[in-house]
Amino acid sequence: MNRLDALKIFCSVAETLQFRNSAHRLAVSPQVITRTISELEKELGEVLFQRSTRQVKLTDFGKQFLPQAQQLLADSERLFSKESLIADQHIAGLVRIAVPDMALMREVLAELWDKLADYPDLMIDWRSDLGLVDVVDEQIDVGIRFGTPEDSRLIIKKVGTAEDCIVASPKLIEKVGKPQDWYSLQRHYPLSALVNQNTGRVWSWYLSNQHQFAPTKPKFVSNHMENELIGVLKGQAFGCLPRLMCQPYLLTGELVELFPEMERKQWIAYVYRPQRTVTHPRVKLVFDMLAEILERKLVI
């Protein structure tokens, strides 16, 4: 018998004085409630409840035992709460963070440092890369990714969604014209491409959940999104880039969006940390801070 669980069940029954209602509140069967109370009474050597077909009442011993049980549960909740762990343990040491190499992450890093002002003994190892980092080999504590979470070794928190948009400079559109559809764009117009650093091949353009293609003869290739953006801004190619990155230039007219009516594929944005037997409060602290920052940032 788990004693803490038994005390939770006892306190719930003491509050409701109904075994069935307590079972509903705790999402267990009434049989579990009955069995646990019986085992607890055997361990204590005292009867906790007087039960009849009409009602359930606390015994005198049960009334004396209840405040002690409630206090013990309250103490255990305080002991294991995130706020108490952080408050009771000095936050110091190194946290390794892996993020995608994009301009947004520099804004995130700046805000993270502001939030860490009260933790002068905390050290940050910030790794920027478009490739997927091996969390175990690189000893990563916290990371940020966009895409579909697939690694079962990770604890993740979804913080929003992001999407790409197809863009070009007005100068390029004036020079080569505007494609009538995505098939024409793929076949007859200069395109930029981003290299997948894990495979060495170029990333596909995900136009929607149904349509995607990989540029076969790109005019400009880079392994960094910002370099790709420069090529697009300079009128060298059409690009498929994150909307967050393009938004300032769309607002100023330096970029024009193509096929805005097409429903875009939504990429999940999430913060992750490895599943470990023990996770230090400094890691949980940074994890929560990054999640809070990104939840605000990923709103256009």
The three-point CA angle 44-50-54 to 5° equals 150
The pLDDT score that the predictor gives to residue 108 is: 96
CATH number of 162-266: 3.40.190.10
| Residue in this structure with the two tokens 């607002």, named with its chain if needed | 251
Give the residues of the chain that fall short of pLDDT 70: 1, 79-89, 130-134, 277, 299-300
Q: What are phi and psi of 199, to 5 degrees?
A: -110, -20
**Fold agreement (3-86, 162-266):** no
Distance CA 149, CA 129 (A): 17
The pLDDT score that the predictor gives to residue 95 is: 95
The pLDDT score that the predictor gives to residue 259 is: 92
What three-state secondary structure class fits 207? coil
The pLDDT score that the predictor gives to residue 110 is: 96
The pLDDT score that the predictor gives to residue 83 is: 56
Closest listed residue to residue 156, CA positions, set 274, 253, 257, 293: 274
- The CA distances from residue 65 to 23, 26, 151, 176, in Å, are 21, 21, 46, 83
The pLDDT score that the predictor gives to residue 262 is: 86
Interhelix angle for 103-115 vs 243-252, to 10°? 110
**Each residue's pLDDT tens digit, 199-226:** 889 999 987 777 889 999 999 999 888 9
The pLDDT score that the predictor gives to residue 89 is: 61
Contact status, residue 208 vs residue 227, Cβ threshold 8 Å: no
The pLDDT score that the predictor gives to residue 214 is: 92
CATH number of 93-148+273-298: 3.40.190
- Domain spans, the chain: 3-86, 93-148+273-298, 162-266
The pLDDT score that the predictor gives to residue 49 is: 92
CATH number of 3-86: 1.10.10.10
The pLDDT score that the predictor gives to residue 103 is: 84
Beta-bridged to residue 143, according to DSSP, are 98, 272
Contact status, residue 169 vs residue 255, Cβ threshold 8 Å: yes
Percent of the chain with pLDDT over 90: 57
State the CB neighbour count (10 A cutoff) for residue 143. Answer: 24
